Amino acid sequence: MKNIELRGQRAELIKGAMSLVDNAQKEGRSLNAEEQQKFDAMESDARSMMTQIETLERAADMKKELAANAEAREASPKQSRTAIFGKYLKRGLAGLNAEERAQLTSTPSAGGFLVPEGFSGVLDVATEFTGEVERVAKKLDTASGNPLDYPTVNDTGNDAAIATEGAATSETDMTFGNVAFSSYNYTSLVRVSKQLIDDAGFNLDSFLVEALGERIARKTNADFTTGDGSSKPKGIVAESTLGATVATSGALVANDVLNLIHSIDPSYRNKASFGLMCSGTIMALLQKLGVGSSNDFPIFIPSMTAGQPDKLFGYNVYYNNDMETDLDATDKVMIAADFDKYVVRRAGGVQIIRLNERYMDEMEIGYLVSARRDGHAVDTRAIKHLIGKA
């Protein structure tokens, strides 16, 4: 498959780039101008290939989902909600008969329809490929968007005791906390030519999945990363606590990352949900560290398996370009986290409203999508950041 070939080519590029750094380190010097130019070109090509790989894998997932929905429709004598919803997208409410309308869950006040489960699942795939924080965070799905209290507990300061025979056990209370989740309404509008909609060869479902899913994800990912909690989610970076500081202004060394990793208690660090997150720019600096002359363990290991992230010091590392890149300022350039301790609330279903008349003077139909989201850290001890040095 093409994505497997690209992963192999990307691994070879990264191996070649790291070899340049490794040879220079063994000779006790920095990269010369020619070597630096080669490294930058290889790293740029590797990053571009990763984008192609993710696109191919995302398209494959969506094709599987749509194919499964199509098979289900053919196997059932009665039209599925997904099929009827697709008909609604193309023809509007007037294009449905009474039975078909009855099978959709309507929202009369808004004039729209909740997206059927199959369609929503494909939309989630598109959203999570673009929104890295939502993809790795713990998801909390609720039927409604009412304010939601999420209880937390901090019992790390309490230990068991060895009981003396005949003595009573002392009572030790737990310390409970609470995180309040809201449901902020994210919306986006797409206009589609009526000629395209009427064209039987135009896959409207796939188009809307791509356009709407990625639009929502770009905005929610920014808020899930750095949101300040004022009429928006509180971002994972915003809620992180200090773990380590870059030792030298404008530079990044392996020890900086190790200090960040080990600033987090092993009870979080040893979980499968633990990992690192930074921008592609910071990741490129880490790849330049290569393999030191006195260390035969590779710092960075590129992924060769679809759906699996790259590794840094053996831990999953995720790219998030909504994070800071300036090592010369006290910016939060990397986080280490048990990502289960950041929760993304998804309230209700995704809703799409077909705007029949608004753009008809331009022979276009509008599609308005609405999705309610919020995000908060539920245990900030499990989420720490590395800052630059001014």
**302-309 contacts, C-beta under 8 A, 24 or more apart:** 302/7, 302/10, 302/11, 302/14, 302/46, 303/7, 304/7, 304/8, 304/11, 305/7, 306/3, 306/4, 306/7, 306/53, 306/57, 307/57, 309/275
The predicted structure's pLDDT at residue 388: 92
- Residue 299 falls inside a structural domain: no
Q: Which parts of the chain register pLDDT below 50? A: 73-78, 105-112, 291-293
CA dist list (Å): 169 to 156, 161, 166 = 19, 8, 10
Residue 285: phi, psi to the nearest 5?
A: -65, -40
User: What spatial distance separates the first Cα and last Cα of the chain, rounded to whole Å?
Assistant: 46
Q: Is residue 345 part of a domain?
A: yes
Give tens-digit pLDDT for 133-162. 998 999 999 988 899 988 887 666 666 667
Determine contact, residues 80/73, Cβ cutoff 8 Å.
Answer: yes
Burial 211-223 (b: 16+ CB within 10 A, else e): bbbbbbbebbbbb
Q: 389 lies in a domain?
A: yes
N residues, the chain: 390
What CATH number does residue 195 fall under?
Answer: 3.90.1690.10
The torsion defined by the Cα of 116, 121, 124 and 129, in degrees rounded to 10, comes to -150
Which two three-digit tokens encode residue 259? 């200090």
For residue 196, tell me if it sits in a domain. Answer: yes
pLDDT, position 288: 77
Place of tokens 């494909």: 122
User: Distance (Å, rounded) from C-alpha 82 to C-alpha 117?
Assistant: 8
Amino acid identity at 160 = A
What would the two tokens of residue 265 be? 């208690």
Which uninterrupted H or E stretch holds 383? strand 383-387
User: In a 3-state reduction of DSSP, which class is residue 235?
Assistant: coil
Query: Which pLDDT value is given to residue 104?
Result: 55
- Residue 371 per-residue DSSP state: E
Q: Which pLDDT score is estimated for 90?
A: 72
In a domain, 56, yes or no: no
- Identify the domain containing residue 185 by its residue range: 105-153+174-279+320-390
pLDDT of residue 112: 46
Q: What is the largest CA-CA distance in the chain?
A: 88
- Residue 131 is assigned to a structural domain of this protein: yes
Domain-located, residue 97: no
> Considering its fold, how many domains does the chain have in total?
1
**Position 308 in a domain:** no
Q: Which two tokens stand for residue 169?
A: 């056990």
Q: What is the dihedral of CA 212, 215, 219, 222, to 10 degrees?
A: 120
Per-residue three-class SS string for 169-202: CCCCCCEEEEEEECCEEEEEEEEEEHHHHHCCCC
Long-range contacts of 74-80, Cβ-Cβ distance < 8 Å, separation of 24 or more:
79/103, 80/116, 80/118
